[in-house]
Amino acid sequence: MDVVIFVLAVIAAAAVFLAVFAIGWRGRRRRQQDIPAPPELPAELAEPLFEATGQYVVTTVAGDWLDRIARHGLGFKSEATAAVFDEGLLFARRGAPDLWIPRSRLRGVRLERGMAGKFVEKDGLVTVTWRLGGTDVDTGFRNRAANEKTMLVNAITQLLPADQAAPSEEQQ
């Protein structure tokens, strides 16, 4: 009898936890209802300048690594390929809508230790700052091959205007 009561208590606690999570997520989506959908992928693109496989981590409000964007599927992790084109940056995500960031919206790129939902070694996450509607946001990407991280940052940096390019390691 004690085991049955314990199991029912655990199930009840889990149900309450999930309900509170769902209410919080719904509230976040309601507060972010003015955030527009990301731009559509262009019909035609040139060949990618660089591609890397890994994990799309999350998109957050720029500078606030815990404030996930809950709209348009931007708040969920997924396996992805990051592809840099002359026209912009594509995160081709598995199980989620692809994320296209036009070159004109890119603001910066840097390496970080982590953001909502993913913390790794120092400088283990490629973080791209870009403009979504009237809001600057940060999108995190974790390379599968660590040696591609710097190459991805360099490829994205080439898309930035000279005054927004990421600082070199000597400047940091």
Q: State pLDDT tens for residues 137-157.
A: 999 999 998 889 999 999 999
| Three-state DSSP state, 37 | coil
Q: State pLDDT tens for residues 83-103.
A: 999 999 999 999 999 999 999
Category of 13 on φ-ψ map: left (φ > 0), alpha (ψ -120 to 50) or beta = alpha
Predicted local confidence at residue 120, as pLDDT: 80
Cα–Cα distance for residue pair 116/57, rounded to 1 Å: 8
Domain 50-164 of CATH type 2.30.29.30: yes
Domain boundaries, the chain: 1-31, 50-164
Residue 131 pLDDT > 90: yes
